[in-house]
């Protein structure tokens, strides 16, 4: 993966490139946010501060020598994070405009060279001309640190920029059928030592037909095509061979069903075929998400997902299978407790190591990783505009390639001021 950020939520099926924490970020285990009034302007500034301890900053495998920081050799560090941003929703007629902007600062106590700034912006226009024709235009741009869990043989900060533009058009072709077109353009630039031009470009188009003749049910069939290329990815990062093209073909059945506002089920089951010289990948793909309001105070979220993603480091592919479960218990109107668990298996057909070789891994024909992520968040809503939380995470990865296993413990506290509007989709950033 390109370098990810962890947020526990469930996303829709997609074949576009994603980073490790961002792949986990697409796991949506949370209840749906409350509706937001659409008329007029709604502006909401917010701020966020956190302090956390991480036991293995560089996600090193067991037995590796401890890096030397400002306070001597150690694997651990303490990190302070500050964020400031705003959400804006503006509604008029049947149109809705959403804006989000956020700046982040990470300060490392021991490995001070890792301190850095990040930012995130998003603009989204949900438009509607008539009842039979509507759509959405969305653009996001994020500058972020790449997690060391997805970097190879480096202990240096790597910052990347990811821009995503999406257009969606819905056409009601009859009272019971709707045609849906989605187009996405993704530009990821992730320059690194030895690969200053490392980047990924993807263009994706999806056409779908949905049956909407049954209340609370939407079901149909999608077909999609993705055209992408890597630039500057080892071992072909020298001209004229520094471009590696790939193509995805996707076909899937998709459905979404909501029962009385208490239960929702979304599913997409199909087949993905990726064609890339020396690195073809194909297989069954899709997602199954289930959300249930168990009691007045308890909410359950479950998701299964299998998808083809891009592995930026060597300009290749990976096949990810994810299972996740999360629980939200609203003990009182002030206190909520959120435990969750994520398991992910990733295989890397045609994987090349940092020397560019494709020799078999010690225990298999290609690299296979297994990741487990256990999270617990306890949140206290002190005031309407102030929340305080304590959190802990244990993450472990095993691999048949000895350079990739690791164990990490993270504990921290955080405070947020302001009330982000329900539309706000960007999770609090996590350090690399």
Q: Determine what percent of the chain is predicted with pLDDT higher than 70.
A: 82
The mean pLDDT of the chain is: 85
Helix (H) or strand (E) holding 154: none
Closest-CA residue to 249 (of 210, 219, 276) = 276
Helix (H) or strand (E) holding 21: helix 20-25
- SS3 state at 25: helix
Q: What is the pLDDT of residues 342-390, one digit of tens each?
A: 999 999 886 644 433 444 444 456 889 999 999 999 999 999 889 999 9
Q: Which two tokens stand for residue 69?
A: 């920081």
Q: Look at residue 315 in the predicted model and tell me its pLDDT.
A: 82
Measured between its terminal Cα atoms, the distance across the chain in Å is 14
pTM, two decimal places: 0.85
Q: Which domains, and CATH codes, for the chain? A: 9-418 (2.40.170)
Q: What is the dihedral of CA 56, 61, 66, 71, to 10 degrees?
A: -10
Contacts of 310 (CB under 8 A, 6+ apart): 1, 2, 16, 17, 18, 200, 202, 228, 230, 246, 316, 317, 318
Cα 61 to Cα 66: distance, rounded to the nearest angstrom: 11
Q: Per-residue confidence at 431, pLDDT binned at 50, 70, 90?
A: very low
**Would you say 121 and 162 are in contact if contact means Cβ atoms under 8 Å apart?**
no
Q: Look at residue 27 in the predicted model and tell me its pLDDT.
A: 63
Q: What is the pLDDT of residues 74-97, one digit of tens each?
A: 999 999 999 999 999 998 888 999
Q: Which two tokens stand for residue 281?
A: 């990948």
Q: Look at residue 29 in the predicted model and tell me its pLDDT.
A: 64
Q: Which DSSP category does 192 fall into?
A: B
Q: What is the pLDDT of residues 388-419, one digit of tens each?
A: 999 999 999 999 888 899 999 999 999 999 86
Q: Determine what percent of the chain is predicted with pLDDT higher than 90.
A: 65
Range 46-57 average pLDDT: 96
**Residue 282 pLDDT > 80:** yes
3-state helix, strand, coil in the chain (%, to 5): 5, 65, 35
Range 276-287 average pLDDT: 87
Cα 315 to Cα 24: distance, rounded to the nearest angstrom: 21
Range 247-272 average pLDDT: 92
| Burial (Cβ within 10 Å: 0-12, 13-18, ≥19) of residue 39 | exposed
Contacts of 293 (CB under 8 A, 6+ apart): 31, 261, 262, 263, 299
**Residue 28 pLDDT > 90:** no
**Residue 210 pLDDT > 80:** yes
Which of 11-15, 56-60, 98-102 has the weakest average pLDDT?
A: 11-15
Cα 204 to Cα 183: distance, rounded to the nearest angstrom: 6
Q: Look at residue 279 in the predicted model and tell me its pLDDT.
A: 77
Q: Look at residue 168 in the predicted model and tell me its pLDDT.
A: 97
């Amino acid at each position: 993966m390109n370098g990810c950020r962890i947020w526990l939520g469930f996303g829709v099926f997609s074949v576009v490139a994603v980073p490790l924490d961002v792949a986990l970020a697409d796991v949506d285990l949370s209840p749906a946010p409350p509706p937001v009034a659409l008329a007029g302007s709604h502006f909401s500034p917010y701020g966020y501060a956190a302090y956390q301890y991480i036991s293995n900053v560089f996600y090193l495998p067991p037995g590796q020598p401890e890096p030397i920081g400002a306070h001597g050799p150690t694997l651990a560090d303490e990190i302070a994070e500050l964020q400031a941003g705003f959400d804006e929703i503006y509604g008029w007629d049947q149109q809705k405009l959403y804006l989000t902007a956020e700046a982040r600062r990470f300060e490392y106590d021991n490995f001070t060279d890792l301190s850095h700034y990040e930012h995130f912006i998003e603009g989204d226009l949900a438009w509607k001309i008539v009842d039979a024709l509507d759509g959405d235009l969305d653009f996001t741009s994020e500058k972020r640190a790449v997690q060391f869990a997805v970097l190879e043989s480096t202990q240096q900060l790597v910052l990347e920029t990811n821009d995503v533009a999406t257009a969606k058009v819905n056409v009601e072709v009859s009272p019971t059928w709707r045609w849906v077109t989605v187009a996405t353009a993704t530009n990821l630039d992730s320059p690194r030592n030895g690969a200053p031009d490392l980047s990924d470009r993807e263009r994706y188009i999806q056409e779908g037909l949905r049956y909407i003749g049954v209340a609370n049910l939407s079901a149909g069939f999608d077909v999609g095509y993705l055209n992408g290329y890597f630039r500057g990815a080892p071992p072909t990062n020298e001209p004229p061979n520094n471009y590696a093209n790939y193509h995805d073909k996707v076909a899937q059945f998709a459905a979404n069903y909501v029962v009385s506002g208490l239960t929702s089920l979304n599913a997409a089951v199909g087949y993905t075929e990726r064609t890339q010289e020396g690195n073809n990948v194909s297989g069954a793909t899709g997602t199954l998400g289930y959300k249930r309001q168990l009691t007045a105070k308890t909410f359950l979220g479950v998701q299964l997902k299998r998808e083809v993603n891009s592995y930026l480091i060597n300009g290749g592919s990976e096949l990810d299978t994810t299972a996740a479960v999360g629980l939200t218990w609203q003990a009182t109107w002030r206190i909520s407790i959120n435990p969750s668990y994520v398991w992910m298996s990733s295989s890397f057909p045609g994987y090349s190591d940092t020397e560019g070789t494709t020799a078999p891994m010690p225990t298999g024909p290609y690299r296979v990783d297994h990741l487990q992520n256990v999270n617990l968040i306890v949140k206290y809503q002190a005031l309407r505009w102030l929340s305080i939380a304590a959190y802990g995470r244990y993450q472990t990865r095993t691999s048949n390639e000895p350079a990739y296993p690791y164990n990490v413990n993270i504990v921290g506290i955080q405070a947020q001021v302001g009330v982000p509007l329900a539309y706000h989709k960007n999770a609090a950033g996590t350090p690399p």
